[in-house]
Amino acid sequence: MCGAFITDPLSESIALMPGEASGVDFAKSPVTKGGDSHPFSHAAPMTYDPENIFAKILKGEIPCHKVYEDEQTLAFMDIMPRSMGHVLVIPKAPARNLLDIAADDLAVLITRVQKVALGVKEALGADGITLQQFSESAGGQEVFHIHFHILPRWDGVKMLSHPAPKADMAVLAEQAAKIRAKFA
């Protein structure tokens, strides 16, 4: 059944291939939502809204506290940080979330996530990092341009729960400058 596919990767579902008889009705399953390049491509594709907030940040229509940028990637401070120095890493290529991003774009993105995580950890003297990625509303996603959350962590310090209060922009600017300096 569908739930087993998602929650129990060590079950029989591990052997399933697209189109194989499985007893699972993929057309009714949330995991079937994929673009044409994805295994379950017979399902309706998810749509990317080019007017989402992060697309507007990429177009320069709204500001952000940038910490890192290259040809394919942008990273900036989350304005409602759940830990000090909470950073978001996004690809410049449009993708809604983990379920529709092209594999090549994801491969680049995750290497940039690691690079930014290392810079954030060093810049802020964190003890560790929590990495989060939410896909679709049911998964907790609110902005529909794929992003990874990098949450610096300190021993014994809890993360705030969502929604966290909006940060002081001057404090964010200061943190962003410290992080950016690691990539200069």
Considering the candidates 42, 147, 149, 162, report the single residue annotated as catalytic: 147
Contact characters 79-118, ligand AMP, x per CB under 6 A: xx-------x------------------------------
Out of 32, 73, 83, 141, the only residue in the binding site for ligand AMP (CB under 6 A) is 141
Known catalytic residue: 86? no
Q: Does 78 bind ligand AMP (CB under 6 A)?
A: yes
| 142 interacts with ligand AMP by CB under 6 A | yes
Pick from 134, 146, 175, 176 the residue near ligand AMP by CB under 6 A: 134
Shortest separation between residue 160's beta carbon and ligand AMP, angstroms: 10
CB of 77 to ligand AMP, least distance (A): 7
21/93 Cα distance (integer angstroms): 35
Structure tokens at 67: 């910490």
Q: How far is the CB of 143 from ligand AMP (least distance, A)?
A: 4
Q: Please report how close the Cβ of residue 24 comes to ligand AMP at its closest, in angstroms.
A: 28
> 43 vs 77, which CB is nearer to ligand AMP?
77
- DSSP for 67-120? EEE-SSEEEEE-SS-SSTT-EEEEESS---STTTS-HHHHHHHHHHHHHHHHHH
Active site residues: 147
Residues that bind ligand AMP (CB under 6 A): 53, 64, 78-80, 88, 134, 140-143
